[in-house]
Amino acid sequence: MKLYTIDTGNFKLDGGAMFGVVPKSIWNKLNPADESNMCNWAMRCLLVQEGNRLILIDNGIGNKQDEKFFSYYYLNGDDSLSKSLKKHGFSEEDITDVFLTHLHFDHCGGSVKWNANHDGYEIAFKNATYWSNEEHWKAATKPNAREKASFLKENILPIEESGHLKFVRKGEPLMNNFDIKYVYGHTEAMMLPVLNCNGHQVIYCADLVPSSAHVPVAYVMAYDMQPLITLGEKSAVLKEAVANDAILFFEHDLLTPCCSLVETEKGIKVKEKFPLPSL
């Protein structure tokens, strides 16, 4: 198994929303806000090469929304999904599987693109199977009022219409060395890939632990649907990560792709920060 970091660009979100009840006097030292209280975040994805399969985990915000939509999020940086794939010698046509941790727009927007006539949509990875799960798909296609703005039908419905959608069966890995943890605090049945790469465990944290600044258990986003559930799930995942000497892979940390953890008298903390290692 080989792993590649796929950087799709950066965007900005409200700092208070990203850190929940944590005061700005604390979180502003971790990710300083601009004059509008916005903090910059990565949209970092992961490419997994295993045998003849090339699996892309999440794919960023995409580029098909209108100018008004993108103006809310201040897209920035020189990276894009296509450029990052090309840097590693791949293209969209090479992707065999697209694994979607969940269907919020900043995680799945690159799944679908405009067609050639710019009057409709088509899937961006024409040779790939797209993986979600039945629980989450139902929540995303029939969203609650609070979460509705995060589930954009143009990111989701064309996948099913294409015939390329499949659901992961709960309790089953996607393939050898690719296990899945299901968590429910952020959104219904979000999936966290747990990869066994040459004897090392790598946990793709998605929005359970969006950045290294969110490792403290109480640092929970206001975006989470059930923050108390997140607290329990996060605590369990971090304890297991310490026990297994796992590497955490962060989707939204602007500066830190990965970290290791250590147990201290004051709880679990970041031990070392580093790029994705060559395992």
Question: What is the pLDDT, as a whole number, of residue 222?
Answer: 98
Question: What is the pLDDT, as a whole number, of residue 277?
Answer: 87
Please list the alpha-helical segments (H only) found in 113-194: 134-141, 153-162
- Domains (range + CATH), the chain: 2-274 (3.60.15.10)
The rounded distance, in Å, linking the Cα atoms of 221 and 210 is 9
Q: From the first residue on, what is the mean pLDDT of each consecutive set of 10 residues in the chain (279 residues)?
A: 97 98 97 97 98 98 95 96 97 98 98 94 98 98 96 98 97 96 98 96 98 98 98 98 98 98 96 91
Question: What is the pLDDT, as a whole number, of residue 159?
Answer: 98
Question: What is the pLDDT, as a whole number, of residue 214?
Answer: 98
Strands annotated E in 100-151? 112-114, 121-123, 129-132
Compute the residue count for the chain: 279
Question: What is the pLDDT, as a whole number, of residue 278?
Answer: 78
DSSP category for residue 139: H
Question: What is the pLDDT, as a whole number, of residue 251?
Answer: 98
Q: How many CA atoms lie within 13 A of 2 on its CB side?
A: 8
pTM above 0.95, yes or no: yes
CA angle 107, 276, 129 (to 5 degrees): 40
When computed from its CA atoms, the radius of gyration of the chain, rounded to whole angstroms, is 18
